[in-house]
Amino acid sequence: MSSGAGKIGVADGLSAWLEALGDKALRIDEPLAVEYEATALQHALDTEGRYPPIWVRSPRLPGGEISPFGLVTNLTASREQVCSALGLDDHRRAAAWWAERQERRIEPVTVPAADAPVRDTLLEGDDVDLQLLPATVQHRGNPGPYLTAAHATTLDPETGIDNSAIQRCWIKDARSMSWFPYPNSHNARNMRAWHERGEACPVAFWIGHHPAVSVAAQVKLGYPESHWPAAGGLIGEPVRLTPSLNFDGRLLVPADAEIVIEGLARPGATAPDGPFAEYTGFLGPAVDAPVCEVLSISHRKGAVLHDCGSGLADNLTPDNIAMEGKLFSLARAVSPRLINVHAPAQGRRFLALLQFDGAIAGEVRDALAAVLAWRRVKTAVALDSDIDLFDSQQVDWALATRFQWDRDLIRVDDLSTSLLDPSLEPGRKTASKAGLDATLPRYPSTPPVAHPDPEALAKAAGLLEELTGAGLADGWPEK
């Protein structure tokens, strides 16, 4: 698998990957506060349309001291970089690539602690101090420092099959944190199963890995199914695991992660969590969340904490790529003429763009209906093959010129959705969804698209390059 950063493999660790990125990462050596400052930098870069990973070498903790851990955020903000880390050259082909890869499985391998870099340093008992981690306070209204890219791994007590998902944790003190698995998530289901037996739920949080593993672990699976073989299938090699330090080693954790926190969520132990800035760009309400009592922390030498800017491209890009793969497989099952799918980050997981190369009667609408059934997708737009799905100006042009509301709209009410959709009125649990067929009808009277003369266009491009090179374009106004 190509690593996207020289010859760095998935076992080499996140720091090595960042190091190899060179000036494609933004490395900050002077202290930067974990409270607001790291996230503000992400927002400022986003405004500029720039998405480098931000590697903070000296994160300043809320008390003023410098954390012994480094901090990396914005790691997964760039589609190009995420896809390159996965070994995919063209991020525009992510949907079909992911759809095919998500079916593959490569079993993980288990290595002893002695061969697991994440077991380099081990902290137990009174040595455990979560507050030394450079956990960020991201947005105004967030109540405290959060782990925002911690993958929680739990077991189904019946089958012993594990599940991993990124789920936020609010660090409350040295040895406890709230942990928020959505009630319908597989981890929440596992936790409830332990609690129904009257037992505490063992949970391990692994933080920071080569980005290919972090992203591949997010493949959407049925229940119960372990994410390790699926992540291996996606990256094309086995994920290296090592037994947990607690729970008789029954849980397995990635040997090459930066940090692993192990703990117990006891029945009935809950605490308020949030408000928290969500992927929607809005502050989500405070919820009652399980409390995790931490038993141990282990980490690599010189470990970096992976943070994910919530509601920013950093948060949306990896999940949207996984969603593109899922939607591609759903829509392709009913439309062989589907050629691409894109879930733009600004659509916040509510918007899907589907592209077709011709289609027989009804087929585009079949595909639109298929993707509207997927979780949060609220608006799905069908587009022709000449429209660049990654250029919102072209998508707007297609919607403005190729679509009639009375003919090209499908509306389906009362489908399942995310309760985080800020437009839902109180008590409402379903969404009204729409598919818009913005493919151009092919009547004899349908006009052709107007194109410039190709030779003249090439000449104009050359002229522009000369003028720009001579510095003459600097003062020209933007749109």
Ligand X SMILES: Cc1cc2nc3c(=O)[nH]c(=O)nc-3n(C[C@H](O)[C@H](O)[C@H](O)COP(=O)(O)O)c2cc1C
Least Å distance between CB 203 and ligand X?
A: 13
* Residue 424: burial class (beta carbons within 10 Å; 0-12, 13-18, 19+): middle
CA distance 103 to 101: 5
In terms of CB distance, is 218 or 340 closer to ligand X?
Answer: 218
DSSP string, 135-167: -BB-STT--S-EE-SEEEEEE-TTT--EEEEE-
Least Å distance between CB 181 and ligand X?
A: 4
Least Å distance between CB 221 and ligand X?
A: 6
Least Å distance between CB 71 and ligand X?
A: 15
Amino acid at 380: A
* CB within 8 Å of 41: residues ≥ 6 apart: 26, 32, 54
Spatial CA neighbour of 296 closest among 121, 178, 438 = 121
Least Å distance between CB 129 and ligand X?
A: 23
In terms of CB distance, is 106 or 161 closer to ligand X?
Answer: 161
Least Å distance between CB 303 and ligand X?
A: 19
In terms of CB distance, is 227 or 332 closer to ligand X?
Answer: 227
Asked, as a colleague might, if the bond just before 267 is cis with ω within 30 of 0, I would say no
Are 3 and 17 within 8 A, CB to CB? yes
Spatial CA neighbour of 353 closest among 375, 322, 329, 384 = 384
What are the angstrom distances between the C-alpha of 415 and each of 230, 341, 370, 378?
A: 28, 21, 12, 9
Site residues for ligand X per CB under 6 A:
149, 163, 165-168, 180-182, 185-187, 218, 220, 308, 315, 318-319
Are 253 and 242 within 8 A, CB to CB? yes
Least Å distance between CB 361 and ligand X?
A: 36
Least Å distance between CB 146 and ligand X?
A: 9
In terms of CB distance, is 26 or 420 closer to ligand X?
Answer: 420
Query: Which residue has tokens 């070498």?
Result: 57
Amino acid at 335: S
Least Å distance between CB 362 and ligand X?
A: 32
Least Å distance between CB 229 and ligand X?
A: 14
**Both structure tokens of 336:** 């062989």
User: How many CA within 13 A on the CB side of residue 435?
Assistant: 22
* CB within 8 Å of 18: residues ≥ 6 apart: 5, 25, 27, 53, 55, 72, 304
CA distance 145 to 281: 18
Spatial CA neighbour of 86 closest among 210, 179, 190 = 210
CA distance 203 to 261: 8
Least Å distance between CB 389 and ligand X?
A: 22
In terms of CB distance, is 31 or 143 closer to ligand X?
Answer: 143
In terms of CB distance, is 186 or 376 closer to ligand X?
Answer: 186
Least Å distance between CB 143 and ligand X?
A: 14
Number of H helices, E strands in the chain: 12, 25
In terms of CB distance, is 258 or 363 closer to ligand X?
Answer: 258
In terms of CB distance, is 217 or 382 closer to ligand X?
Answer: 217
In terms of CB distance, is 59 or 181 closer to ligand X?
Answer: 181
Helix (H) or strand (E) holding 335: none
Label residue 470 left, alpha or beta by phi (over 0 means left) and psi (-120 to 50 means alpha).
alpha
Q: Strand, coil or helix: what is 176? A: strand
Give the other-Cβ count within 10 Å of 47's Cβ: 8
